[in-house]
Amino acid sequence: MKTLTIAAKDLKHIFQSGFSLVMMFGAPLLITGLLAFAFGGRTSGTDTFNLPVTRVQVVNLDQPAGADPGFAAGKLLVAVLQDPSLSDLLAVTLAADEASARTAVDEQRAGVAIIIPPDFTAAATSPDRGAAVVIYRDPTLTIGPGIVTDLVRHVIDGFSGAKIAGQVTAEGLSAAGAEADQALKDNIIRAYTAWLQSDEHGAEGAAVPRLAVVAPTGAAQPKSQGAAPIGPIMAGMLVFFVFFMGGNGAESIIREAEQGTLARLSSTPTPLAAMLGGKFIGVMVSLGLQVAVLLLASILLFGIQWGQAATVMLVSLGLIVASAGFGVMLMSLITSSRQTGPVLGGVMTLTGMLGGLFTTTIPNIPAGFDRVALLTPQGWALQGWKLALSGAGVGETLVPVVVMLVMGSAFLAVGVALFRRRFA
């Protein structure tokens, strides 16, 4: 009963402290939101992730002439760029001349200007002619101009493919002793470009190799595209601040020793084990509330799907025990509350960095870094949360959870032994 009284008193102290509330709830949610915003993650409750639309000005100077007056390569390129399926990426308008298109880019009224040369069709259909499509881009933009460049290159590659096909046919006929006349070459190129203009190259059942892009179906399909990048960020912040509060909560032992209340407690018929037990329970409960509130808030604010309920509960338990034990041990090593700030901040930041809590958004981390992360309890906690986020079941998260429980218990045993020696 005394143990619970001490725990309740500590909880009251924690939840009356503005600093504690900020570090428990405010800081992790705020930092996650800022990081998600900085790295292009979701910043609102909407369910989609949108790139900004790139404004494109096209100057089509192409003057088709030749064997097939109905074919215009420049017109085809413009049609590809104005395809309705690209309307959420590109806003394409036709400019009167090259100068006005370039001026639009210079004045940032457009992100990209495409200048199609007058002999574009001739270059697309004649084996011995060439022409350059000029892409004039705003140097401050990266993604939009990149998309435009890829699209233009895709169309030009199609024309190049047709020309190569004609050339190869001519060489084949020549090797067989026959002569390929210009009409045959024109036919090949015409057939190729006609195919390029049609939808057949992407249609199901077409007699050509086809690229099929499909998404998984069923319950396992993630609800939100945005949840994928922000989940690990939030997991890193959750682990960091829960560990921080584990140390901060355990600091009350040092603070009470300095304020004389611990000695006063010792003068009452309250065993030391009950005092330390009350302290530990207070820390555990506060961390449990912190984890629960952060999980709930991150679901509501960021739409994060943390995974299966049983897995989340198990990983939460491991995190709470590991952070409380680590905090008690850390505080048992310091002698004054003046050391708390530097030691707590320093050790938690260092072990957090080693544990990978601040690099969750960096792809392709070297394997060595992952191995170092598992030397820290934070590294195991993060691994547990990453597994939970990926939808892993209880069985798959048992290893990190057991490691966290063992580490937390060992840290706690060391901390309690040191405190007992100091205060006995």
Partner 1 sequence: MPDGVAIRAQDLQKQFRAVSAVRGVSFEVRAGEIFSLLGPNGAGKSTTIAMLSCLLQPTQGDASVCGHSIRQSPQRVKACLGVVPQDIALYLDLSARENLEFWGKMYGLRGATLRQRVAEVLAIIGLTERQKDKVGTFSGGMQRRVNIGAALLHRPDVIIMDEPTVGIDPQSRRHILDNVKELNRQGMTVLYTTHYMEEAQELSHQIAIMDQGKIIVCGTHAELIRLVGERTRLDLTLHSEDDALVACWRSIAGVHSLSADHGRLTLLVDDSNLVLPRLFETAAQVGVRITSVTIEEPNLEAVFLHLTGKALRDAL
**Interface with partner 1 by CB under 8 A: which residues?**
1-2, 5, 9, 12-13, 16, 259-261, 263-271
Of 18 and 70, which has the nearer Cβ to partner 1?
A: 18
Q: Minimum CB separation from partner 1 for residue 18, in Å?
A: 12
| Separation of alpha carbons 403 and 13, rounded Å | 31
Q: Minimum CB separation from partner 1 for residue 421, in Å?
A: 13
SS3 205: coil
Positive or negative torsion for Cα 42, 45, 49, 51: negative
Of 278 and 303, which has the nearer Cβ to partner 1?
A: 278
Of 245 and 317, which has the nearer Cβ to partner 1?
A: 245
| Separation of alpha carbons 216 and 221, rounded Å | 6
Q: Minimum CB separation from partner 1 for residue 415, in Å?
A: 22
Whole-number Cα distances in Å, 416 to 10, 332, 369: 17, 8, 32
Of 83 and 258, which has the nearer Cβ to partner 1?
A: 258
Q: Do 320 and 280 meet the contact criterion of CB atoms below 8 Å apart? A: no
The phi, psi pair for 137, rounded to 5°, reads: -125, 155
Q: Minimum CB separation from partner 1 for residue 1, in Å?
A: 8
Of 20 and 361, which has the nearer Cβ to partner 1?
A: 20
Pick the closest to residue 244 from 163, 332, 348, 171 (CA basis). Answer: 348
Q: Minimum CB separation from partner 1 for residue 335, in Å?
A: 17
Contacts of 284 (CB under 8 A, 6+ apart): 320, 321, 324
What is the distance, to the nearest Å, from the Cα of residue 376 to the centroid of all Cα atoms in its chain? 23
Of 278 and 307, which has the nearer Cβ to partner 1?
A: 278
Q: Minimum CB separation from partner 1 for residue 324, in Å?
A: 22
Of 209 and 260, which has the nearer Cβ to partner 1?
A: 260
Q: Minimum CB separation from partner 1 for residue 259, in Å?
A: 7
Of 54 and 252, which has the nearer Cβ to partner 1?
A: 252
Which one-letter DSSP state was computed for residue 24?
I
Q: Minimum CB separation from partner 1 for residue 8, in Å?
A: 9
Of 174 and 259, which has the nearer Cβ to partner 1?
A: 259
Of 269 and 363, which has the nearer Cβ to partner 1?
A: 269
Q: Minimum CB separation from partner 1 for residue 283, in Å?
A: 17
Q: Minimum CB separation from partner 1 for residue 271, in Å?
A: 8
Of 260 and 395, which has the nearer Cβ to partner 1?
A: 260
Q: Minimum CB separation from partner 1 for residue 289, in Å?
A: 19
What is the chain's alpha carbon radius of gyration, rounded to the nearest angstrom? 33
Which one-letter DSSP state was computed for residue 115?
E
